[in-house]
Amino acid sequence: MSTSIQQRNTGTGPHDAPPERRGDGKLPRWAPWACFAAALALAFLLGALTSSNIVLLVIYTVVLGTIAVYVISRVVEGHRRATDRLVTCLVVTAFGIAMVPLVSLAYEVIRRGAERFDGEFFGASLQGVIGEGGGAYHAIMGTLIITLLTTAISVPIGLMTAIYLVEYGSGRLKRSITFFVDVMTGIPSIVAGLFAYALFVIFFGPGIRLGIMGAVALSVLMIPVVVRSAEEVLKLVPNELREASYALGVPKWRTILKVVIPTAIAGLGTGVTLAIARVIGETAPLLVTVGITNGTNLNPFEGRMATLPVYAFYQLTQPGVPPQNAIDRAWTAALILIMLVMGLNVVARVISRVFAPKTSR
Amino acid sequence: MKLSTKTRATTLSVALASTLALAACGASNESETAGGGSDTGSGGGSELSGTLVGAGSSAQQAAMQGWAAGYNSVQPDVTVNYDPVGSGGGREQFLAGGTDFAGSDAALDEEELAQAEERCGPSGVFEMVNYIAPIAVVYNLEGVDELNLSPETVAGIFNQQITNWNDPAIAADNPDATLPDLPITPVNRADDSGTTDNFTEYLAAAAADAWPHEPDGVWPVPGGEAAQGTSGVVSAVGAGNGAIGYADLSQAGDLGVANIGVGEEFVAPSAEAAAAVVENSQTVEGRGEYDFAIELARDTTESGNYPIVLVSYHIGCIEYDEQETADLVKDFMGYVISEEGQQAAADAAGSAPISDGLREQNQSAIDAITAG
Amino acid sequence: MTVTSPPQEPTAPRAVRRPGDRIFSGGAKGAGILILLILAGVTVFLLAESLPALTASAEELPGEGGLVSYVWPLIFGTLLSATIALLVATPLAVGIALFITHYAPRRLAQVLGYVVDLLAAIPSIVYGFWGIAWLAPRLVPFYRWLEENLGFIPLFAGPVSATGRTMLTIGLVLAVMILPIVSAISREVFTQVPTLHTEAALALGATRWEMIRMAVIPYGKSGVIGGAMLGLGRALGETMAVAIILSGSAAGITFALISSANPQTIAANIALQFPESTGLDVNTLIASGLVLFVITLLVNMLARWIVNRRADFSGAN
C-alpha cells in the first residue's frame, strides 16, 4: 500500500540535488543496486588485499553498500530520504541474516544425513549392531507409537476444552482456563518431562522408564497447542449455522457434533497436525521419561523405548568404536526428524486446502 | 460436500494405517524369539532358551552389545536385554529383584550388601570385574609427539593450577621435549559419567596433594571446557591446539596420548597395562566368598601397570530362585569372561581383555551359581 | 442439515437441554478443569519430588555447599543465555516483521512469513547438531578477533574457546530459535496497525521510515515487548540445543562470553545429569526443574498480561 504512494522530496538537506536530475533529486531505481555492486567490487578488492573469505566478503559488501546508499542518498535526496533508505537496507539485512541459519542448517543436515539414508536405516534396529550398519527402525516405531498415544490423550482433552471455551464457558472459569492454557504453552519441555517422571515415580518407584510416561509428558506440551488452535477455529464458525440448527430443535450437543465440528473440521485437522509437528521433535522430556534402548520395544507400558530424537542425541554424544558410524546415524536421524516435521506441516496445509468447506471464507 | 469430506478423511486414515502396517513388519536384524521354558539340561554346551535381564552402567553398554551379539551365536534362543540406566540405577533395580544381574562401575556398598542378603539369600552375591577400559589422557599439542605426565602434574593441569604448557612441572617430566608457551585448555565431561568418576578417583588417590576434590561422576572443577560424552571430549581436544582431556583409549583416535607416571617410570596406556593393574589390585576383605570387589591400586608403583582405568562389575546372585535363571546367568557370565567374550567386548567397545588370573578367579564364582 | 430429531416444543429461545447435553457440557467443562488440574499437578508433583532435596543437609547433595549454591550458578547461566538471545533476537525480529509487513512485495510477504516460521518448526535437537557442527567452529575466528580488539571488555576476556562452544554461541543459537515467535507476534501487531494511521502519515509526506516510526512502532510497541517476553520464556526453558552445544561447568559465575568456562543452564544440566542419576541427585535435579518452572511461569504470565492488555486496547481502537 505504501509503495504506491509517490512522495515528493521536500529537500531539507544542505546539499539539495540539482533540479535536472529526475526533477527533484530522486535517485533512479537502479541506484541502490549500483551501490551494492560497487561495494561488492570493493569488497573483492579488500578481500584480495587481506584474507579472502566468503563470509567477510558478504559482510563487507553489505556494510559498504549500505554506507554508499546512505551517503549518496543523503547528498542527492536529503537526510529524511537517506534515513529511509538506510532503514530499508537494515530491514532487508535483518531478513537476510535470518535466512543464514535456515539455509545452512538445511544444507548441513541434508549433506550429513544423506550418508546413511538407506533401506537398512529404516529396516534395522541397533540390536547387536557393532560399528557399521544398523538403523533406527526401533526409534522410528517408538516415535510413532508415543506420538500416537500423545495425540490420543491430547486431542480429546484439548478439543473438549476448546468446545467448552467457545460454546459453554463463561465467567471466571473460562477466563482462568484461557489464561492458564496460555501460560501452559510456555512450560519448558524438560519440566513437562520431570512432571511425568515425578507422577509415575509415586506409583512405580524410582528409576522408572516407560513409553506412556513420554506420552504423558508430551501431552502436557501438546494440549495447550490443540486448545488454542481449536478455539480459534471454532470461533470462526458462523453463529447463523448454530442458530439455524437450534431453530430446528436440535439439541446443543448434537449441534456441536453435527454442525459446528464438521464445519470447522479443516481447521481442526490443520491445528492438530501442527500440534503433532510441535511435539514430534521434542527430545528433553523423552530423555528423562522414556530413555533409550537398542532393541525394538513396541509396548509403551513396559520398559524403555527408543525414540528418534533421543536416538539421535545418544548416537551423537555416545558413539561406539569407531565413532563415525554412530555419528552418521545421528545425522540421518536428525534428517528424518526434519522431514517428519516438514511433512506434517505440508499435510497441515493440504488438509486446510482439501477439507476446507466452501462456506468458510 | 459433507459426504465427500468423510470419504476423503477415510481415504487418508486408510493410507495412514497402511503405512503404519507396512512399517510394522519388524526390524530386519532382530530374530523373533520368544522366551519359552528352559531346557532340562544344565551346564555348558547344552541349548538354553529364555530371556536374561540386566541393567546398569552405561559404560558397559557397548561391550554388552558385543556380548549379546556374540552370545546370540552360541545360544540363539537366549535373549539378553541390558538396560543402561546408570550404575546406581542398575544396582537399585537388581536389589529390588527387577533384574537378574546388574552392571555397575562400583561395587555394592555396606548398605546395599545388606539388601543383597534379602535379594539373594544367605549365600550372597557375586561381584566380578568383567570390563576394563583404560582411560587415556589425550592432548593436542603441535610439535609434541611424546608427553610424560606425573600424577601430580595431571592433577595440577586438571585442577587448573598448571595453566601453561611451559610450566616447570611439565618440563621436569619431559626434559627432552620443547614445550611451547601456550595456555592449557583442560577438557572435561559435561555429563555425569563413570569415566569422570574413575578419573577423579585416580587423581584423588595418586595425587592427593594436588587434587583437593572428592571422586565424583560430575566433574568438580569449574572453568574447563566441558564436552558431552567421550566423543565430545575427543573432538573438543582435537579442535584446539593446547587442549588436554581424558577419554576412553579406544576413542582417542589421532590425538596424542600421554604416558602416565607410575613409580619411577612413565607408562603408556594399553590393554595389557590396564589388565595388569586390575590383576595386581587387592580384593576387598570381609565380603562374601565370591565377592571379588577390588580396591583398585590407583597409586600403584608397579612397573608396567596403568592405573587410570575404568572397571565395571557384573553383580548377581550365587543362588537364584529358579533353575532357568541360574542356568542362563551361569552360561552367559561364562561366555562373558571367556577369551571369546572378552574379545567381543574389545571389538565392540575397545575394552581391555581381563587377564587369565582374573578369569580363573571369576570362573570360580560362576561355577558356584546354583538354584535353590 | 442431515440431522433429524423428534420435534420438540420450542419453549426456550436457546437449544433444548437434554441428558445428552448435560453429559456433553459436563465433559467439556471437565476437560477444561482437567487442564487446570494438570497445571496444578505439575506444581504439586514437582514439589513433592523435590522435597527430599529441599530438606536434605548440605553434605548429602551434589556439589559443595547445599542446594542454593548448586542451583544459583545454573539460574545465572539460564538467565545470561536467555538475555543474550533476547538482545540479539528482538531487533532482528522487529526488522523481519517490518520487512514482511511493510517492505516486501505483497505477493511475496506471505511466503516469506512462512519461511521464517519454518525456523520454529525445526526440532531443538537439530539446532544442537547444527550449532555444534556448523556454527560453533565458524565463530572461533570471530571470537579471536573480538578478544584481540575488544578483550579489555570483561565480556570478551580470553582465553578464547578453541571449539566455539561458548555462552555467546548459545545466545546466538537461542536467538535463532526464538526469532520466529518474536517476529510472528510483531508481525501480527504490525499488520493490525489501522490503515488510517499509516495512510494519514504517508499523505502528510512522511517517508516510509517516518511512517513506521510515528504510526507503526508506537502502536505495536507493547505487542513487540510481549512477544519478546514470550521468546524469553522459550529461551529460558530450551534444553537440548544448550545441552549439546554449551561447554558448561558445574559452577562458576562469569560474564566472559567467549571462553571455555561457562555456567550451565538449568534445563541442560537436568538433561545431561538425569539419565545417570539416582537417589537424592534426582530430587535435586527436580528441585532445580521446579525453579525453572517458577521462573518461566512468571515470565510467561507477565508476557501474556502485556499481550492481553494490548489486545484490550486494540479492541477499542
A302 in contact with chain B, both atoms CB, cutoff 8 A = no
Which grid cell sits at A284? 528433553
> Using a CB-CB distance cutoff of 8 angstroms, which residues of chain C are in contact with residue B218?
62-63, 250, 273
Cell for A287? 530423555
ipTM score? 0.87
Into which CATH architecture does domain A122-354 fall?
Orthogonal Bundle (1.10)
Cβ neighbours of residue A118 closer than 8 Å, sequence gap 6 or more: none
CA–CA separation, B322 and B16 (whole Å): 45
Angle formed at CA C254 by CA C52 and CA B198, multiple of 5 degrees:
55
Q: Using H for helix, E for strand and C for coil, what is the string for chain A?
A: CHHHCCCCCCCCCCCCCCCCCCCCCCCCCCHHHHHHHHHHHHHHHHHHHCCCCHHHHHHHHHHHHHHHHHHHHHHHHCHHHHHHHHHHHHHHHHHHHHHHHHHHHHHHHHHHHHHHCCHHHHHCCCCCCCCCCCCCHHHHHHHHHHHHHHHHHHHHHHHHHHHHHHHHCCHHHHHHHHHHHHHHCCCCHHHHHHHHHHHHHHHHCCCCCCHHHHHHHHHHHHHHHHHHHHHHHHHHCCHHHHHHHHHCCCCHHHHHHHHHHHHHHHHHHHHHHHHHHHHHCCCHHHHHHCCCCCCCCCCCCCCCCCCHHHHHHHHHHCCCCCHHHHHHHHHHHHHHHHHHHHHHHHHHHHHHHHCCCCCCC
Name the pLDDT band for B115 (thresholds 50, 70, 90). confident
Residue B83 carries which DSSP code? Answer: E
- C-alpha distance from C249 to closest chain B C-alpha (Å): 5
Q: Which of A339, A332, A326, A359 is nearest to A132 (CA)?
A: A326
Distance from CA of C118 to the nearest CA of B (A): 24
Q: Is C150 on the interface with A (CB under 8 A)?
A: no
User: Per residue in C229-260, is it b (16+ CB within 10 Å) or e — as a string?
Assistant: bbbbbbbbbbbbbbbbbbbbbbbbebebbbbb
Q: Which among C61, C138, C144, C260 is the top mutation candidate for probing chain B, defined by the most B β-carbons within 10 Å of its own β-carbon?
A: C260
- Domain residue ranges of chain A, discontinuous segments joined by +: 17-115, 122-354
Mutate to test the interface with B, among A118, A120, A125, A130 (most CBs of B within 10 A): A130
Chains A, B: CB contacts under 8 A, how many?
Answer: 101
Kindly report the number of other CB atoms within 10 A of residue A110's CB atom. 15
- Joined together, the cell numbers standing for residue A20 give 535536472
Instruction: Give the pLDDT score at A113.
Output: 93
Question: Please, which chains are in contact with C (at least 3 CB pairs closer than 8 A)?
Answer: A, B
State the DSSP H helix or E strand holding residue C280, giving kind and residue range, or none if neither: helix C280-316
Average pLDDT of chain B to the nearest whole number = 84
pLDDT per residue as tens digits for the range C191-246 = 888 889 889 999 998 999 999 998 898 888 888 988 898 899 989 999 999 999 98
Would you list the DSSP string of B222-267? TTSEEESHHHHHHHHHHHSTTEEEEEEGGG-TTSEE-EEEETTEEE
Check residue B153 and give its pLDDT: 93
Q: How far apart are the first and last CA of chain A?
A: 23
Q: Does C249 touch chain B (CB under 8 A)?
A: yes
> What is the pLDDT, as a whole number, of residue C35?
93
Residue showing cell 450437543? A253
Mean of per-residue pLDDT scores for chain C: 85
Residue C87 Cα, gap to closest chain A Cα (Å)? 14
Give dist(CA B65, CA B67) in Å, integer.
Answer: 5
pLDDT over 80 (residue C307):
no
Q: CA of A132: which chain B residue's CA is closest? A: B348
Residue spans per domain, chain C = 26-315
pLDDT above 80: residue A115:
yes
Nearest CA to CA, how far is A322 from chain B (Å)?
7
For position B245, what pLDDT does the model report?
93
Check: CB of residue A285 under 8 Å from CB of residue C274: no
Task: Assess A357–B contact: CB distance below 8 Å, yes or no.
Answer: yes
Percent of chain B with pLDDT over 90: 29
For the residues A6-25, what does the mean pLDDT come to?
44
CATH of C26-315 among 1.10.10.60, 1.10.3720.10, 3.40.1260.10, 1.10.150.240:
1.10.3720.10
Alpha carbons B243 and B182: distance in angstroms, whole number: 10
- Cα distance from B324 to chain C (closest Cα, Å)? 30
Highest mean pLDDT among A40-49, A328-337, C155-164 belongs to A328-337
Question: Is C261 in contact with B222 (Cβ distance < 8 A)?
Answer: yes
| Torsion B73-B75-B77-B78 (CA) sign | negative
Nearest to C130 among A108, A248, A249 (CB): A108
CB nearest A92 (choices: C41, C103, C122): C103
Residue A45 or residue C129, greater confidence:
C129
CB C182 within 8 A of CB C230: yes
| Banded model confidence at residue C119, pLDDT cuts 50, 70, 90 | confident
Whether the predicted pLDDT of A348 surpasses 50: yes
Minimal Cβ distance to A354: which of B8, B69, B234: B8
Compute and round to an integer the Cα radius of gyration of chain C: 25
Q: Pick from A83, A98, A69, A71: which is nearest to C213 by CA?
A: A83
Burial zone of B43 (CB within 10 Å; 0-12 exposed, 13-18 middle, 19+ buried): exposed
**Up-side HSE of residue A161: CA atoms within 13 Å toward CB?**
32
How do beta strands B125-140 and B256-257 pair?
Answer: antiparallel
Using the Cβ of A324 and the Cβ atoms of chain B, whether some distance falls under 8 Å is answered with no
Q: What is the pLDDT of residues C36-65, one digit of tens each?
A: 999 999 999 999 999 988 888 777 776 667
* Tens-digit pLDDT profile for residues C137-179: 889 888 988 888 888 888 888 778 878 888 999 999 999 999 9
Which run of H or E residues covers position B210? Answer: none
Residues B334-366: tens digit of each pLDDT: 999 999 999 988 888 888 899 888 899 999 999
